[in-house]
Amino acid sequence: MKEKWIAYPTILEGETVELIPLEKEHFEELYAAAADKELWELVPTDCSDKTLFDKNYECALSERETGNQYPFVIRHKETGKLIGSTRFFEIYPADRKLEIGWTWITKEFWGTAINLECKLLLLTFCFEILKTNRVQLKTKDDNFRSRKAIEKIGGVFEGILRKDKVLSDGSTRNAAYYSILDDEWTTAKLKIEALIKAKQNVS
């Protein structure tokens, strides 16, 4: 079995959100948040479908046991509600690298600082606690909104992997790959903090 790089339970606490380990008892509330089809339009797997949701989140729990993934739910501190999910996956302790993805938040929080705060919590944990060399992020090649968001937080574009994923409907998607390296983290962190501050000032 692969070495477990991330201790359980790891909880990441921010100003407005808390990232807590996914548990089976979260499924009902999390699915209620995930049932909006619009959340999944640009994502390979449509988890507004209850069967696909259960399959993918059950898989995330079993993958945590093997050290391959570490899934979180996003809890809004003010209301106590679950408003989304994110996870570490493609975890390779020997190479000091992993990927951040499977991130979604409910529509009421789109355009707020919450997604940025989640990324800051996750990346800070990666580079300052785990001491990763590389954090990978990827998105659909034609999801320009997501690509721009990754670039804004310091993600460096590495290329397109063609037909990287088979989608729920059987079609394929190309993936745009990005990364942030350990020696780029200080600059990226300042960028994210500035973006959060700008969002907070607007609201």
The overall average pLDDT reported for the chain is 94
Tens-digit pLDDT profile for residues 118-128: 999 999 999 99
CA angle in degrees (0–180, nearest 5) for 33-38-43? 95
Q: Rounded to the nearest 10 degrees, how much is the dihedral formed by the CA atoms of 65, 71, 74, 77?
A: 30
Taking each helix axis as running N to C, give the angle between helix 114-124 and helix 185-202, from 0 to 180 degrees, rounded to the nearest 10: 160
Task: For residues 187 and 203, give the distance between their C-alpha atoms in angstroms, rounded to a whole number.
Answer: 25
Tens-digit pLDDT profile for residues 130-189: 999 999 999 999 999 899 999 999 999 999 999 998 877 888 999 999 999 999 999 999
pLDDT-derived band of residue 203, with 50, 70 and 90 as boundaries? low
Tens-digit pLDDT profile for residues 15-39: 999 999 999 999 999 999 999 988 8
Could you tell me which residues come within 8 angstroms of residue 171 by beta carbon, excluding any fewer than 6 positions away? none
